[in-house]
Amino acid sequence: MHPATRAAIFRRLKAANPAPTTELLFGSPFELLVAVMLSAHTTDKSVNAATRELFPVANTPAAIVALGVEGVKPYIRPVGLYNTKSKNLVGLAQALIERHDGQVPGDRAALEALPGVGRKTASIILNMVFGEAEIAVDTHIFRVANRTGLAPGRTPREVEEALRRNTPPAYRKDAHHWLILHGRYVCTARAPKCPTCIIRDLCEFAHKTRPKPPQPAVRLRRAARRAFGPARRRRSRR
Ligand code: SF4
């Protein structure tokens, strides 16, 4: 893709949503870390449903450790994989207390050493809490980057590297949110909304969806209007 096209795509995404952000609910770096960790293989909506109940009861590492694995489980049952996620959550809280005075660390190696925290979660924390221009590649971004031609790659890491290399610096910090929201609501896995997509003319996807043909009743009404409409109007003027 030509760099000017890439810049134009981000220009339009920015114009449509100047201050993109996560749809996860959080009120502190620790809450964000917990929410992102819980969001693996599930929707933000189900994570928000769980944390709305959990955070009023326990939203610090010490409180999560005090709750323990069995105490955490009922809250995060809706997000799926709750046995593993409960263990990771309590392990994560314990590790933050032991290694980082209960604070969320600001470097990738320390983040990725925490239970349940992988590259994607670390990138989101570095971006949203520490203001670094990191781009976490999830399934939505992977799809949008490949379809559009913005940053083709066979693996999330390849896409991440391509986005890092090719995204104009002015757009790099927010690229993650623009692309994830575009993938979630417009460039969906099945039946992307190409006819109404704001970057349709810039996107290089060869199999864009077409506007739906009008329904038979609509077609009939239009045909009748074409055949009789002007005549009827002429009659009514007489
Ligand atoms: S035109 Fe279609 S394939 Fe391209 S970004 Fe938009 S929704 Fe996705």
Catalytically active residues, by annotation = 120, 138
Task: Please write the tens of the pLDDT for every residue from 96-114.
Answer: 999 999 999 999 999 999 9
65 lies in which domain range? 1-211
Give 110-122 as a DSSP string.
HHHTSTT--HHHH
Q: Considering just the CA atoms, what is the radius of gyration of the chain in Å?
A: 24
Q: Which two tokens stand for residue 2?
A: 């030509």
- Does residue 19 fall inside a structural domain? yes
Going by pLDDT thresholds of 50, 70 and 90, the confidence category of residue 238 is: very low
Task: Please write the tens of the pLDDT for every residue from 10-37.
Answer: 999 999 999 999 999 999 999 999 999 9
Given ligand 1 and candidates 1, 5, 148, 178, which is best to mutate, with the most ligand atoms within 8 Å of its CB?
148
- CATH number at 170 reads 1.10.340.30
CA of 44 from ligand 1 middle (Å) equals 22
pLDDT at residue 230 in the model: 58
- Does residue 218 fall inside a structural domain? no
Are 178 and 13 a contacting pair, CB within 8 Å?
yes
Structural domain count of the chain: 1
194 closest CA partner among 151, 140, 148: 148
pTM over 0.75: yes
